[in-house]
Structure 1
Amino acid sequence: MAVSPPVCDFGWKAPEFALPATDGRTLTFADVAGPKGTLVMFICNHCPYVLAVMDRIQRDAEDLQKLGIGVVAICSNDAESYPADSFENMQEMAADRGFPFAYLHDKTQEVARAYDAACTPDFFGFDAQGGLQYRGRLDASGRQAADPSVRRDLFEAMKHVAETGQGPRDQIPSMGCSIKWKAA
Structure 2
Amino acid sequence: MFQHGSTARRAGLVAALGLGLVLTAACGGEDGPSGSSSSKGRSGSWQVGDCGGPDPKQAPDGYRPLGCDEPGATFKALEVTSAGILPGSVQCPAGTDLMIRVSVSYGSSAENGSKGGGIPTHTVCGRNLSGDHPGDAGAGGGQLVKGDCVSSSAQEVACVSAGRDAFTVLGLVEEKGQCPAGTTEPMELTLSVGRPYDVICTAPV
* Same fold, TM-score > 0.5, yes or no: no
Larger strand share, 1 or 2 = 2
Larger helix share, 1 or 2 = 1
**TM-score normalized with structure 2 length:** 0.23
**TM-score normalized with structure 1 length:** 0.25
Greater Rg by CA = 2
